[in-house]
Amino acid sequence: MNLLKSLWILILVSLLLTNCKNKESNELAILDTANIYIKGTMDAELTSPPFVPAPVGNRTAKKLLVNMEILEKEGTMTDGVQYVYWTFGGSVPGSFIRTRVGDLVEFTLSNHPDNKLPHNIDLHAVTGSGGGATSSFVAPGHNKTFSFKTLNPGLYVYHCATAPVGMHIANGMYGLILVEPEGGLPKVDKEYYIMQGDFYTKGENGEKGLQPFDMTKAIKEDADYVVFNGKVGALTGDNAITANVGETVRLFVGNGGPNLTSSFHVIGEIFDKVNIEGGDMINTNVQTTSIPSGGAAIVEFKVEVPGTFILVDHAIFRAFNKGALGMLKVIGKENKNIYSGVKQEGIYHPEGGTIQTMPVDKKVEVAALVQEKPLAQKIADGKQVYMTTCFACHQEKGQGIPNAFPPLYKSDYLNADVKRAIGIVLNGKTGEITVNGNKYNSVMTKQTLTDVEVADVMTYVYNSWGNNKTNVSVNTVKEVKNSH
């Protein structure tokens, strides 16, 4: 009996040791991605933001041909502000590259003959000298080809690494390369490509004209613009990304820098899943995720209710004052069990029914009449004020944000009473209003503007988007100010 028992113990131990060895062998086989078999050749699909190539699915590892062109080109930073971007593939961020683990990537980098400078590329997905930078330094009118094996799944940044490296990155030379695991990522309904960058210009934020790069500001990390996908408004209005209620959304989010860490957040949503720093580790139920300069994250969530969801860097002045703001527009049937909207509105008096204020010794300002600018100049100056002060809430074409901020486009509320509108800019506004048949109950904060700036911006608004073309004078602004 004891002999039989001993034999069973030996058999069990032997099985356990065999299983452990097999498990160890399988793990080593999985980890040895350098020796994954390559079958066939294919051209890589490259896409401009916010779009991404088709998922790799369960395709075999292949020799993947990537052809990318560097272009130095003038583009729009914000309305009236131009900037010369240095780009991979003609866009900022550069073309999205989608691979799978074990691919052999043959990368050809071409520098357009009209460009002025040499460039190269450092891909964080590369295991090799300089991430490919030492093999890809290329002068205008030339190209370089090198190859690398994708060993590690994840979402990786690529960027130019030609000296001065910071300048090349600051001018827009960055993008993302995705290395999917074997078998591909889990299926979702929508995927988008978003990348944050900070820009440094000789002129201040909103200063018009072609603005050159400012190295001194960049060294001090004093950014004039912090934006998604290369410009203010790249993901707002008609450029917003979209989804339908009930769909799952995956965002590939990168941060080109060159300096600032991103605190990425979607107002009104919670990330069901975040691949932290673009790697294997997954966090769940995340409100805001930190993305370092030169890093990335994959965020996923299901959209349960309709609305316009605002994408921001939650270092919030960057969003509302420097441009790090985008939109996800979700359409579909409302679900009152999840979000009811306003159910009731009342007046809250914490110390009884009497509203009490401190007495004010009001001094009415008596000012001399101000010499008015020509109308065209007021409109031009007012547009600059609008883009730096009002754009985030009311948007580039005055369309506002549904259910949040009312439109200025053909606004019946605005056109009905010019002095009332001036008073709102000067003093702010709370409480429900109806604009073009829709109710809004948001807060308009008091704006810190000079009388001239108020006159300019109101004149611009009234002379835009089908409004009544009122020319608001500085003296009218003063009159409204003194009446309150």
Q: Which of 311, 399, 404 minimizes the C-alpha distance to 49?
A: 311
Residue 142, marked binder = no
Q: Which of 144, 228, 143 minimizes the C-alpha distance to 194?
A: 228
Distance CA 434, CA 282 (A): 44
* Whether the Cβ atoms of residue 243 and residue 305 lie closer than 8 Å to each other: no
Same fold, 41-184 and 191-331: yes
Residue 394, marked binder = no
Is the Cα dihedral 334, 335, 341, 344 positive or negative? positive
CATH of the structural domain 41-184, one choice from 3.40.50.720, 2.60.40.420, 3.50.50.60, 3.40.920.10: 2.60.40.420
Q: What is the pLDDT of residue 449?
A: 86
**H or E, element range at 478:** helix 474-483
Place of tokens 């790697």: 279
Q: What is the pLDDT of residue 364?
A: 42
Q: What is the pLDDT of residue 403?
A: 72
Distance CA 286, CA 251 (A): 14
Per-domain boundaries in the chain = 41-184, 191-331, 375-483
Is the Cα dihedral 283, 234, 94, 61 positive or negative? positive
**Homologous superfamily of domain range 191-331:** Cupredoxins -  blue copper proteins (2.60.40.420)
Distance CA 21, CA 71 (A): 53
Distance CA 463, CA 459 (A): 6
What DSSP character marks residue 45?
Answer: P
Across the beta sheet with 174-180, the strand order is 46-47, 96-100, 174-180, 154-159, 122-123
* Whether the Cβ atoms of residue 387 and residue 79 lie closer than 8 Å to each other: yes
Token digits for 206? Answer: 């909103």
Residue 314, marked binder = yes
Q: Across-strand partners of 96?
A: 47
Q: Averaged in consecutive runs of 10 residues, what is the pLDDT profile of the chain (484 residues)?
A: 55 52 42 82 98 96 98 96 98 98 98 97 96 96 97 98 97 98 97 98 95 97 98 94 98 98 97 97 98 98 96 96 96 93 64 49 49 88 83 82 85 93 88 88 79 92 94 92 83
pTM of the model: 0.73
Token digits for 441? Answer: 């109950």
C-alpha pair distances (Å), 332 with each of 206, 250, 328: 37, 19, 13
Token digits for 278? Answer: 């673009």
Distance CA 49, CA 229 (A): 7
Is the Cα dihedral 168, 193, 176, 39 positive or negative? negative
Residue 160, marked binder = yes
What DSSP character marks residue 446?
Answer: P
CATH number assigned to the domain covering 375-483: 1.10.760.10
Q: 268: Cβ–Cβ under 8 A, 6 or more apart, which residues?
A: 307, 309, 310
Distance CA 389, CA 395 (A): 10
Q: Please state whether beta strands 225-228 and 209-210 pair in parallel, antiparallel, or not at all (unpaired).
A: unpaired
Q: What is the pLDDT of residue 94?
A: 98
Distance CA 293, CA 316 (A): 17
